[in-house]
């Protein structure tokens, strides 16, 4: 994955010597095109440019993306990394694909390879869950999935879906089909698997989620038990609001804990 992008950068070095009369082959500029490739930004400058949109991004995250070949900053003689505005846009693309589409880095790398080769089409991916008044809504897709259909929809091996069912992370309905949320679970599980976190490790997530759902249930139970349609509607709105707050609290706690792992 890193080879083609490095060679493209080398090919664009206009200072290289060429034989007199030789015809220079056409070289597609690496994506993104139209941005300066002058490497004058320190890693602190890059963090400053990204942190408004990605407040959790860190030095370690940028170094990891470099190790994965998704961005190639130059090194000064003293060994310091220096980035260009084009590098920053490339990083922004990677971070958005992870955040908004839950895509594994291998898939993002393949997309970047296609963009580098001149494909300017928007890469296909999984849309972020839509929101209404800040509350996440289920994907508006009709139908339900079988194991094979869910694996195909998520772009993963069918065995991953089977393993998620076996450990209880996914639970098919009475007819053996999965609801509309299952795709997002599988996509996220596949992304975690890229880092060695397999299905059996994810059972704790299911357990934690069920405990949070129990808390939400206690809050909305008095409203859900009433006969009036307005009460039941209020129960649905309240459940979504409290559930989203639980989700946000979980996210903040995880981010705080992760921040303590790296200086």
Locus of tokens 């003293």: 78
The per-residue pLDDT for range 77-91, each reduced to its tens digit, is 988 999 999 999 999
Report residue 88 as tokens.
Answer: 């920053």
CA-nearest of 79, 102, 89, 76 to 32 is: 89
Residue 135 has pLDDT above 60, yes or no: no
Which residues does 224 contact at the CB level (< 8 Å), separation at least 6? Answer: 231, 232, 235
CA-nearest of 55, 53, 48, 12 to 31 is: 12
Q: What is the C-alpha separation between 170 and 183, in angstroms, rounded?
A: 10
The per-residue pLDDT for range 205-230, each reduced to its tens digit, is 999 999 999 999 999 888 888 877 77
**Rounded to 5, what percent of the chain is helix, strand, coil?**
55, 5, 40
Q: Give φ, ψ of 246 to 5 degrees.
A: -60, -45
What local confidence, expressed as pLDDT, does residue 97 receive?
Answer: 87
What local confidence, expressed as pLDDT, does residue 254 receive?
Answer: 86
Q: What is the C-alpha separation between 180 and 190, in angstroms, rounded?
A: 17
Residue 253 has pLDDT above 70, yes or no: yes
- The mean pLDDT value of the chain amounts to 79
CA-nearest of 75, 128, 96, 77 to 32 is: 96
Under the banding of pLDDT at 50, 70 and 90, the label for residue 93 is very high
Residue 170 has pLDDT above 90, yes or no: yes
The per-residue pLDDT for range 138-151, each reduced to its tens digit, is 443 434 788 998 88
Exposure b/e, 9-20, CB count within 10 A at least 16 = b? beeeeeeeeeee
Other Cβ atoms within 10 Å of 25 Cβ, number: 6
What local confidence, expressed as pLDDT, does residue 212 receive?
Answer: 92
Which residues does 226 contact at the CB level (< 8 Å), separation at least 6? Answer: 232
Tell me the C-alpha to C-alpha distance, in Å, between residue 50 and each of 66, 86, 119, 183, 226. Answer: 16, 13, 25, 29, 48
Residue 32, preceding peptide bond in cis (omega within 30° of 0): yes
What local confidence, expressed as pLDDT, does residue 27 receive?
Answer: 61
Helix (H, G, I), strand (E, B) or coil at 203: helix
The per-residue pLDDT for range 8-57, each reduced to its tens digit, is 444 444 444 555 555 555 566 889 888 899 999 999 999 999 988 888 78
Q: Give φ, ψ of 131 to 5 degrees.
A: -125, 150
Helix (H, G, I), strand (E, B) or coil at 2: helix
């Amino acid at each position: 994955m890193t080879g083609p992008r490095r060679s493209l950068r080398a090919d664009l070095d206009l200072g290289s010597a060429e034989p007199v009369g030789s015809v220079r082959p056409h070289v597609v500029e690496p994506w993104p095109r139209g941005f300066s490739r002058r490497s004058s930004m320190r890693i602190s400058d890059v963090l400053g440019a990204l942190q408004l949109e990605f407040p959790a991004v860190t030095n370690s995250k940028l170094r990891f993306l470099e190790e994965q070949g998704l961005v190639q900053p130059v090194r000064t003689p003293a060994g310091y990394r220096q980035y260009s505005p084009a590098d920053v846009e490339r990083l922004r693309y990677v971070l958005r694909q992870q955040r908004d589409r839950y895509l594994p880095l291998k898939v993002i790398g393949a997309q970047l390879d296609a963009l580098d080769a001149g494909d300017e089409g928007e890469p296909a991916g999984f849309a972020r869950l839509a929101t209404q008044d800040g509350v996440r809504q289920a994907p508006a897709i009709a139908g339900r999935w079988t194991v094979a259909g869910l694996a195909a929809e998520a772009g993963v091996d069918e065995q991953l879906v089977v393993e998620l069912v076996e450990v209880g992370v996914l639970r098919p309905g009475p007819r053996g089909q999965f609801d509309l949320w299952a795709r997002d679970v599988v996509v996220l599980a596949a992304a975690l698997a890229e880092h060695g976190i397999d299905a059996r490790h994810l059972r704790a997530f299911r357990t934690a989620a069920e405990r949070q759902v129990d808390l939400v249930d206690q809050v909305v139970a008095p409203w859900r038990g009433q006969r009036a349609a307005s009460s039941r509607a209020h129960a649905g709105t309240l459940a979504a609001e409290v559930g989203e707050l639980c989700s946000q609290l979980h996210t903040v706690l995880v981010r705080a804990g992760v921040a303590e792992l790296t200086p």
